[in-house]
Amino acid sequence: MRRQKKTLEKEKNMTLSGHLRELRNRVLVCLVCLVVTFLAGLHFAPDIIDFLTDMGKDYGYTYVYLAPQELLMQYFSVALLSGVCVTLPLILYQIWAFVQPGLKKNENLLFLSAMISGLLFFVLGIFFAYKVMLPFMLYFLIDISKGSGITASISVQNYMSFLLTIFVIFGIVFELPVVSVLLTQMGLLKVKWMKTGRRFVIVLIFFVAAVITPPDIVSQIMVAVPMIGLYELSILISALLLRLRRRRKAQEEA
Domain ranges of the chain: 2-174
Which residues are paired to 64 by β-bridges?
A: 155
Measured CA distances, 25 to 44, 101, 102, 217 (Å): 29, 16, 18, 52
- Lowest mean pLDDT across 155-169, 182-196, 226-240: 182-196
Any alpha helices (H) in 58-155, and if so which ranges? 70-99, 105-128, 134-143
Whether the per-residue pLDDT at 51 is higher than 80: the answer is yes
Measured CA distances, 248 to 5, 241, 253 (Å): 26, 10, 9
Whether the per-residue pLDDT at 4 is higher than 80: the answer is no
Strand 62-64 relative to strand 153-155, pairing = parallel
Q: Are 226 and 128 in contact (CB under 8 A)?
A: yes
Q: Are 172 and 125 in contact (CB under 8 A)?
A: yes
Distance CA 197, CA 243 (A): 20
Per the confidence metrics, is the pTM higher than 0.85? no
pLDDT value of position 192: 86
Which residues are paired to 62 by β-bridges?
A: 153
Distance CA 109, CA 117 (A): 12
Nearest of 38, 47, 122, 133 to residue 80 by alpha carbon: 38
Whether the per-residue pLDDT at 59 is higher than 70: the answer is yes
- Lowest mean pLDDT across 22-26, 61-65, 100-104, 181-185: 100-104
Any alpha helices (H) in the chain, and if so which ranges? 2-12, 16-57, 70-99, 105-128, 134-143, 156-173, 176-185, 191-196, 198-212, 217-253
pLDDT value of position 31: 94
Confidence class for position 254, pLDDT limits 50, 70, 90: low
pLDDT value of position 11: 52
Confidence class for position 165, pLDDT limits 50, 70, 90: confident
